[in-house]
Every structure is written in structure tokens, then in C-alpha cells.
């Protein structure tokens, strides 16, 4: 039996980076800062990848600084460095479930401070 499930709660570090494919698929990339229990160390940063409807929801409602919870699986993106040819890899959380957190007041304040193009 194998289990690969990741649950994270944190604050979004970047606005959504959307990519649309000719096939009709949609991908969204975000970064997420998750605080550690000890306050004397900085947060851990995670790269998130969302697909399909989840990506579209993130694009509509998630902005830098927003608190979210995600559930997904860990994968390793692998490639060869273009300049040196050295193999590289980076961990990515492939998000299956996205929850928007924070109070309704926080959301309303975000809406009041957003420019019209974000609606």
C-alpha cells in the first residue's frame, strides 16, 4: 500500500500564474508560505500546481497574501539544466482540493481594495 497525501495551510506568495493549452487544459502555479511552529524561523515555501476547474477557481479568487488550505500529492519535476546539462529536480504539490480561508470580512476587504479587472 502506498500513500502520497499532503495537507497544507498557509498564505499565497504569488498571484496565480495561468497557462492555457491547445488541448483545452488549464494549469495554475502558485507558491505557498507555511509557518513553522517555532516563530524564530521563517516559513517553508511550497510550489503548487492546480489543474482544470480548481485552477480556474484559484485564478478568480486567490491573490497574494490570501490564506488557503490545499490537499494534494507530492511529485518531483525533473529536467536537465540547459547550460550545464546537469539533472535538476524540484518538489511540487499537485493540488486536488483547494479551500479559501479567512473571514468574510477579509474577503470583502480584498474586494474593496481590488481593481475592477479582478472581478
Question: Domain map of the chain by residue range?
Answer: 6-103
Q: How far apart (Å, rounded) are the C-alpha atoms in residues 98 and 54?
A: 7
111 touches 67 (CB < 8 A):
no
Q: How far is CA 104 from the centre of its chain?
A: 21
**The domain made up of 6-103 is a member of CATH 1.10.10.10:** no
Contacts of 13 (CB under 8 A, 6+ apart): 30, 31, 32, 33, 45, 64
pLDDT the model gives residue 105: 57
Report, as ranges of residue numbers, the positions in the chain whose pLDDT lies below 50.
Answer: 112, 114-119
pTM exceeds 0.75, yes or no? yes
Q: Taking the CA of residue 35 as centre, how many other CA atoms within 13 Å lie in the half-sphere pointing to its CB?
A: 7
pLDDT the model gives residue 110: 54
All three cell numbers of 46: 511550497
Amino acid at each position: 500500500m502506498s500513500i502520497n497525501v499532503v495537507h497544507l495551510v498557509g498564505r499565497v506568495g504569488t498571484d496565480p500564474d495561468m497557462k492555457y493549452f491547445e488541448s483545452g487544459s488549464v494549469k495554475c502555479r502558485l507558491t505557498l508560505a507555511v509557518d513553522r511552529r517555532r516563530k524564530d524561523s521563517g516559513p517553508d515555501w511550497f510550489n503548487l500546481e492546480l489543474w482544470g476547474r480548481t485552477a480556474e477557481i484559484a485564478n478568480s479568487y486567490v491573490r497574494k497574501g490570501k490564506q488557503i488550505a490545499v490537499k494534494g500529492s507530492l511529485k518531483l519535476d525533473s529536467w536537465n539544466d540547459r547550460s550545464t546539462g546537469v539533472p535538476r529536480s524540484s518538489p511540487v504539490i499537485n493540488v486536488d482540493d483547494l479551500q479559501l480561508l479567512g473571514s468574510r470580512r477579509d474577503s470583502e476587504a480584498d474586494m474593496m481594495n481590488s481593481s475592477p479587472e479582478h472581478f
